[in-house]
Amino acid sequence: DAKTTQPPSMDCAEGRAANLPCNHSTISGNEYVYWYRQIHSQGPQYIIHGLKNNETNEMASLIITEDRKSSTLILPHATLRDTAVYYCIVRPGGSNYKLTFGKGTLLTVNP
Amino acid sequence: DAMVIQNPRYQVTQFGKPVTLSCSQTLNHNVMYWYQQKSSQAPKLLFHYYDKDFNNEADTPDNFQSRRPNTSFCFLDIRSPGLGDAAMYLCATSRDLGAGTEAFFGQGTRLTVV
């Protein structure tokens, strides 16, 4: 499975956009990029996923570079409740079930 | 409404005393997973069920077992808990195994071994 690299921590001001980068330079053609987050003492929560195209849902936007070697998760208006560890995960296509978590980025949203 | 429910949220067990953690789901998903998350670490997959088919990760200790009596319920049995088994145990479900499906996690059970 392709490995991902994320900064260990980031800060963001409340109300501003939070842009969380992820490097996955060894990603292969059938691998998806997933983002989950984990608020302290809770289970991980699915945010968004994509293959090639940019994706948007009610929680966030996912921007994948054209070469697919990196991506950015965008929380458009961060709130204090968005403080969490954000995991970028590359998941193989087909029936490979594995969701392998890396170390993630601790995003702290400040008032 | 909670879709993946784990009970209890907190469990204290004695060293060496068998303990069972439970998970139920209202999503009617085919796949159920168990993850272990130790303090300040990322979740680590222990095993999963696809329907009734059990799939163990290669590095999951024999001390950990699982049962899935029906679609809705899955149990994690720790036969002889050691101090090193203290962790958050997370249950998750997904509709299928394909890469385009997301996993839904429960709130976890925090296990303390005394």
**Which A residues in the span 19-38 are in contact with B, Cβ-Cβ below 8 Å?**
30-32, 34
DSSP label at residue B54: E
Beta strand spans in chain A (E) = 9-13, 18-23, 32-38, 45-50, 55-56, 61-64, 70-75, 84-91, 105-110
Q: Which sign does the torsion angle of CA A75, A79, A82, A84 carry?
A: positive
Per-residue pLDDT tens digits for A44-98: 999 999 999 999 999 999 999 999 999 999 999 999 999 999 999 998 766 666 7
Cis peptide before B18 (omega within 30 of 0): no
Q: Are A107 and A83 in contact (CB under 8 A)?
A: yes
Return the closest-CA partner of residue B85 out of B113, B46, B48: B113
Contact list, B103 vs chain A (CB under 8 Å)? 44, 46, 99
Put simply, whether B44 touches A (Cβ < 8 Å) is yes
Per-residue pLDDT tens digits for B51-105: 999 999 999 999 999 999 999 999 999 999 999 999 999 999 998 877 667 899 9
What is the per-residue pLDDT for B34? 96
For residue A104, give Cα distances in angstroms to A10, A18, A107: 11, 15, 9
Half-sphere exposure for B79 (CA within 13 Å, toward CB): 7
Q: Which residue of B has its CA nearest to A91?
A: B99
